[in-house]
């Protein structure tokens, strides 16, 4: 009988992680690129020692109960871990680990891309060409906003927020301000000033949401926040959808309380194609693509695998969150 530790992987993931786990573990998988249904998850986790999961899996008390007392580690192939019941894991001494660092560059690049896509109205341009609406050059057509001499506000100056700020500096922005739970020492490297949340929303021409979803950040961008923002402001969200109240965002965009929004994360996900935010021209909705690069996904898979082995070897995983 094999004494290899049992690890369940809730999706088809890049081979990088599998190659790390295979020599030591008894692996089984949800053999699909689609999310595992909750009833299948409950069935398949029985008796496992380690769980390799995704941000779409709801790792609640029921799943932890179904896994049973051998479960030592839950490694999510994501930075976000709001889908895991940390309280329940803590009670039972289950280590929870995420994949910090490895998607910082991909998400920061995506955030800057989305900002430029939105502020320069590029998709409206593409659509106009496709629809045969491109006439002779017009001086007043599809005008956007430049980053030069503007104030950029960042909610959450963690690794990704810092990466966004660093990439935006060379565009000649006038000022970078940020709000977070604490002032961070490295903010001075990019000349970013800490401000209150109210000041962030009042002063910024562009706001990038780069924070986690927590009880403190849930629906932080709501009616009240949108009313404080400049009418010319552009909102970018690559953090978590739940930080923004989407009904309030729609109202703010339609009533001209803010100019435009680019969102890579939504609430819910997927956002139905019939959602009003999808069809208004001043909102760009992407399907949560922040870390969609070969580099990030390979590293996310190997990091999650290494986190599992670290716990089995009684070492500290790279991304321990609890
Ligand atoms: C994460 O890692 O949490 C990202 O949202 C995935 O793109």
The values of phi and psi at residue 225, to 5°, are -65, -45
Choose one of 291, 294, 299 to mutate for the ligand 1 pocket test, by most ligand atoms within 8 angstroms of C-beta.
Answer: 291
60 CA distance to ligand 1 middle (Å): 19
Residue nearest to ligand 1 atom 7, measured at CA = 291
Question: Residue 154 Cα, ligand 1 centroid: separation in angstroms?
Answer: 18
Q: What is the mean pLDDT of the chain?
A: 97
Q: Is 242 helix (H, G, I), strand (E, B) or coil?
A: helix
Cα 148 to Cα 289: distance, rounded to the nearest angstrom: 27
**Which pLDDT score, from 0 to 100, does residue 1 have?**
45
Domain that holds residue 225: 104-285
Same domain? For 113 and 201 the reply is yes
One domain, residues 159 and 199: yes
Of 13, 14, 59, 80, best ligand 1 pocket probe by most atoms within 8 Å of the beta carbon: 80
**Residue 227 located in a structural domain:** yes
CATH of residue 304's domain is 3.40.50.720
ipTM above 0.90, yes or no: yes
* Predicted TM-score (pTM) of this structure: 0.95
Indicate if 10 and 126 belong to the same structural domain.
Answer: no
In a domain, residue 224? The reply is yes
Ligand 1 pocket, residue 79 CB under 6 Å: yes
Band (pLDDT 50/70/90 cuts) for residue 252 is very high
Number of domains in the chain: 2
Whether residues 275 and 151 fall in one domain = yes
Same-domain check for residues 35 and 152: no
Q: Is residue 17 part of a domain?
A: yes
The string of pLDDT tens digits covering residues 146-159 is 999 999 999 999 99
Q: Is the CB of 244 under 6 A from ligand 1?
A: no
Residue 320 included in any domain? no
Q: Is residue 50 part of a domain?
A: yes
Instruction: Classify 25 as helix, strand or coil.
Output: strand
Average pLDDT over residues 28-51: 98
Q: Are residues 128 and 225 in the same domain?
A: yes
């Amino acid at each position: 009988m094999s004494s290899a530790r049992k690890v369940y992987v809730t999706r088809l993931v890049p081979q990088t992680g599998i190659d790390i786990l295979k020599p030591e573990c008894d692996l089984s998988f949800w053999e699909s690129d689609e999310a595992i249904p909750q009833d299948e998850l409950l069935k398949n986790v029985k008796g496992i020692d380690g769980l390799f999961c995704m941000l779409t899996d709801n790792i609640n008390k029921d799943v932890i109960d179904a896994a049973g007392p051998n479960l030592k580690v839950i490694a999510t192939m994501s930075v976000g871990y709001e889908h895991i019941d940390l309280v329940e894991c803590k009670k039972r001494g289950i280590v929870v680990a995420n994949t910090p660092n490895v998607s910082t560059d991909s998400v920061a690049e995506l955030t800057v891309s989305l900002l430029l896509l939105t502020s320069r109205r590029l998709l409206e341009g593409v659509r106009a060409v496709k629809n045969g609406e491109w006439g002779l050059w017009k001086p007043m057509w599809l005008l956007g906003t430049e980053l030069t001499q503007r104030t950029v506000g960042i909610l959450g100056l963690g690794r990704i927020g810092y990466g966004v700020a660093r990439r935006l500096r060379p565009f000649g922005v006038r000022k970078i301000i940020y709000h977070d739970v604490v002032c961070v020492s490295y903010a001075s490297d990019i000349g970013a000033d800490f401000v209150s949340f109210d000041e962030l929303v009042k002063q910024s021409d562009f706001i990038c949401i780069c924070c986690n979803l927590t009880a403190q950040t849930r629906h932080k961008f709501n009616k009240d926040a949108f009313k404080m923002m400049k009418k010319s402001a552009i909102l970018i969200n690559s953090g978590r959808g739940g930080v923004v109240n989407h009904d309030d965002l729609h109202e703010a965009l339609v009533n001209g309380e803010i100019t435009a929004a680019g969102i890579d994360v939504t609430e819910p996900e997927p956002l139905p194609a019939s959602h009003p935010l999808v069809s208004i021209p001043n909102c760009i909705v992407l399907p949560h693509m922040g870390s969609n690069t070969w580099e990030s996904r390979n590293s996310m898979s190997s990091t999650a695998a290494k986190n599992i082995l670290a716990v089995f070897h009684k070492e500290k995983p790279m991304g321990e969150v609890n």
